[in-house]
Amino acid sequence: MTITTTDTGLGSHHVIEEPESRTFRVRRTAMTSQDVFEAERERIFAHTWLYLGHESEIPDKGDYVRRPVGGRPLFMVRGAKTGEVNVFHNTCTHRGAAICRADKGSQKVFQCFYHAWTFDSEGELKGVPGEDAYVDEIDRAGLALQKVRTESYRGFVFVTFDPEIEDLTTYLAGARQYLDYVVDAMNGEVEVVPGTNEYGFDANWKLLVENSIDGYHASSTHDTYFKYLQTLGTDLSIGVSGVTKDLGNGHAVLEYRAPWGRPVASWEPLFGEDSKEEIAQLKADLVEKHGPEKAEMMTEINRNLLIYPNLVINDIMAVTVRTLVPTAPDRVEVTAWEIAPKGELPQLRQRRLDSFLTFLGPGGFATPDDLEALESCQQGFSSGGVEWNDISRGMGRAAQATDEEQMRAFWRRWRDQLDTTN
Amino acid sequence: MTTITRENAATVTRAEVEDFLYQEAALLDEWDLPTWLDLFTEDAIYQVPCNDDPTGAGDRSLMLIDDNRLRLASRVERLGSRKAHREYPHSNLRHFISNVRILEQDSEVLKITCSMLVGRFRANRETWYCARADYDLLLSGGAFRIRRKRVALDMTTLRHSSDVAIIL
Ligand code: FES
Ligand SMILES: [Fe+2]
């Protein structure tokens, strides 16, 4: 479908905010239109920082992981000479074949299987079979593997396809402090747990952005999960209370107190009596190091953090890192990892693993129901009889955990980026 | 359920194991999950590792499913409710079991492996899961009990199947 935007930009055509009447609406074609999907690729995904992976995934020289980012095939390798994290477009500079052909591993030399050119882990072109056929000397520098602009913040590696945009730290704005909570609570020793969740479903990616930071749907959609928690002995009577915030640049957070414990220094009976003391010690250490206020934030408060446009970090019973990549207006691919402190007590690690897979995993007691909800929204959009989604909840008041201010933060940034025509 | 007249698991034949696996499959296909749950021992585990980590263990890897008996009972209860939205109404399921092999057996326990293909059909969507399944079966009182069921998926990701909200 073609969208005519004569007097407004593509973003403003889809997002209408009216503070006087406290309404915020998103036109449903934002989730269905091919034009919007293509504009997102060009105006958002090519001009933001996108999460690729964690430095701890490639601890040693030559270690690599291969994965697409924003739909482009990349690989990240720790350079054998410099020890730096290099990210390359995963395509041979000769005629295009994939250079890195496994999802992870370790090697210092990458040989293209097509005509056997070789590159080292810094991207330099090393070997060209039959090089004397190039009558003038071959342009080795020009034919090196193409680097992607890469920066990392406290171990989280991001890339961008825009050479012009601000540095990563500035880009992260208010979200930086929340990454600090995660990393400091793990004493800076973060590892990615083996095992990746890679799934997909038939809905627009922005529905999953909304869902990942939506406190309003929890009790209605996830009734069976809360039942399960009760079976385990969790007392749900205190309920969930908190706030939602705009963190700038489209980043947003939902943060709340909840009845369940946290493996970082908030004990509950499920963790077992034998871990009570260690958890108290962990907490005492954090209080000493960071002061009571920050320690309280790190240990007692749960949060669902959105780093615009497509990274979600849930810092709850377990810490999850997930990216959402659109492949069509009505299709999204999710990749999720679990991060945890290195050298954690086995019983705490076990609780963390259990929490992740029972709540957030695609075989768990909650995520499948989210997928069902989002696919049913997407199907509902095709009715065409209803033009707008309403995202006004909590407008005009200090936004609470079940309000929608955090989603409005995302949509405002989305609107502004889609209005640009770079 | 299959009644095995033998006392000693060491003499159980593949055909008897197959009968048992077929009956388990039928219970799953018929969504008779409470009866299915009764096949499991109190110390049973049911696991599905992540696609990229087929040998992962539940105490150090993220898994797709890592149920002890308590969690398995919660899963059965959840799937029986109208609030497991992804499976309400239930999918049509068909479990195919083949290539059954007895890997080890002694007087009490059999280690079994087989190939498994599960079709899942719901709301105009069709999903196939292809896997290797490993079982530890206990023979007691003339019946098999499952002590361990581990289903390692052959698909490299869940991109197409999207979830494992059913029991494989
Ligand atoms: S495409 Fe890589 S060597 Fe030719
Ligand atoms: Fe949810």
pLDDT at residue A127 greater than cutoff 60? yes
Cβ of A126 less than 6 Å from ligand 1:
no
Cα A158 to Cα A248: distance, rounded to the nearest angstrom: 18
Structure tokens at A278: 């260690």
- Give the gap in angstroms from C-alpha A335 to the nearest C-alpha of chain B: 9
Flag if B159 and A200 touch (Cβ within 8 Å): yes
**Nearest CA residue ID for atom 4, ligand 1:** A115
Strand partners, A246: A252
Flag if A223 and B77 touch (Cβ within 8 Å): no
Mean pLDDT of A153-164: 97
- Give the gap in angstroms from C-alpha B161 to the nearest C-alpha of chain A: 7
What spacing in Å lies between the alpha carbon of B73 and ligand 1's midpoint? 54
Residues B50-91 pLDDT 10s = 999 999 999 999 999 999 999 999 999 999 999 999 999 999
> Residue A139: phi, psi to the nearest 5?
-80, 80
What spacing in Å lies between the alpha carbon of A91 and ligand 1's midpoint? 9
Residues B28-57 pLDDT 10s = 999 999 999 999 999 999 999 999 999 999
> Which residues of chain B are at the A interface, by a Cβ-Cβ cutoff of 8 Å?
48-53, 56, 58-66, 70-71, 74-75, 77-78, 81, 83-87, 157-165
Cβ of A140 less than 6 Å from ligand 1:
no
- Give the gap in angstroms from C-alpha A67 to the nearest C-alpha of chain B: 13
Structure tokens at A5: 């935007």
Quote the pLDDT of residue A381: 97
Quote the pLDDT of residue A363: 97
Confidence of residue B1 (pLDDT cuts 50, 70, 90): low
Quote the pLDDT of residue A41: 96
Give residues with Cβ within 8 angstroms of A288, minimum separation 6: none
| pTM for this predicted structure | 0.95
Give residues with Cβ within 8 angstroms of A366, minimum separation 6: A221, A222, A224, A225, A358, A359, A360
Flag if A199 and B83 touch (Cβ within 8 Å): no
- Give the gap in angstroms from C-alpha B41 to the nearest C-alpha of chain A: 19
Cα B36 to Cα B25: distance, rounded to the nearest angstrom: 9
What spacing in Å lies between the alpha carbon of A118 and ligand 2's midpoint? 46
Task: Return the residue in A344, A354, A359, A367 with the most chain B beta carbons within 10 A, the one to mutate for interface testing.
Answer: A354
Residues A202-242 pLDDT 10s = 999 999 999 999 999 998 999 999 999 999 888 888 777 89
Quote the pLDDT of residue B2: 65
**Nearest CA residue ID for atom 3, ligand 1:** A115
Mean pLDDT of A243-266: 91
pLDDT at residue A5 greater than cutoff 60? no
Residues A34-74 pLDDT 10s = 999 999 999 999 999 999 999 999 999 999 999 999 999 99
Considering only alpha carbons, which residue of chain B is nearest residue A379? B123
Quote the pLDDT of residue A239: 76
pLDDT at residue A1 greater than cutoff 70? no
Flag if A196 and B58 touch (Cβ within 8 Å): no
> Residue A286: phi, psi to the nearest 5?
-65, -40
Flag if A221 and B85 touch (Cβ within 8 Å): yes
Strand partners, A256: A242, A302
Quote the pLDDT of residue B8: 85
Residue A119 · residue A109 · CB < 8 Å? yes
DSSP state of B7: S
Give me the interface pTM, i.e. the ipTM.
0.95
> Residue A345: phi, psi to the nearest 5?
-55, 135
Cα B150 to Cα B153: distance, rounded to the nearest angstrom: 10
| Chain A residues close to B53, C-beta within 8 Å | 194-196
Which atom of ligand 1 is found nearest the CA of A97? 1
How many A-B residue pairs are in contact by the CB < 8 A criterion? 121
Confidence of residue B110 (pLDDT cuts 50, 70, 90): very high
Flag if B66 and A353 touch (Cβ within 8 Å): yes
A354 touches chain B (CB under 8 A): yes
Residue B99 · residue B67 · CB < 8 Å? no
**What percent of chain A clears pLDDT 70, i.e. is strictly above it?**
98
Mean pLDDT of A173-196: 96
pLDDT at residue A4 greater than cutoff 80? no
Residues in chain A: 422
What spacing in Å lies between the alpha carbon of A209 and ligand 2's midpoint? 11
A304 touches chain B (CB under 8 A): no
- Give the gap in angstroms from C-alpha A227 to the nearest C-alpha of chain B: 9
Confidence of residue A266 (pLDDT cuts 50, 70, 90): confident
Q: At what angle do helices A205-212 and A367-381 cross, to 10 degrees?
A: 130
Residues in chain B: 168
B58, B77, B163: residue with CB nearest A371: B163
Residues A371-413 pLDDT 10s = 999 999 999 999 989 999 999 999 999 999 999 999 999 999 9
Quote the pLDDT of residue A422: 60
| Chain A residues close to B74, C-beta within 8 Å | 227-228, 231, 365
Q: To test the ligand 1 pocket, which listed residue (A88, A111, A112) has its Cβ within 8 A of the most ligand atoms?
A: A112
Specify the higher pLDDT residue, A240 or A317: A317
The average confidence (pLDDT) of chain A is 94
Residue position matching structure tokens 């299987």? A113
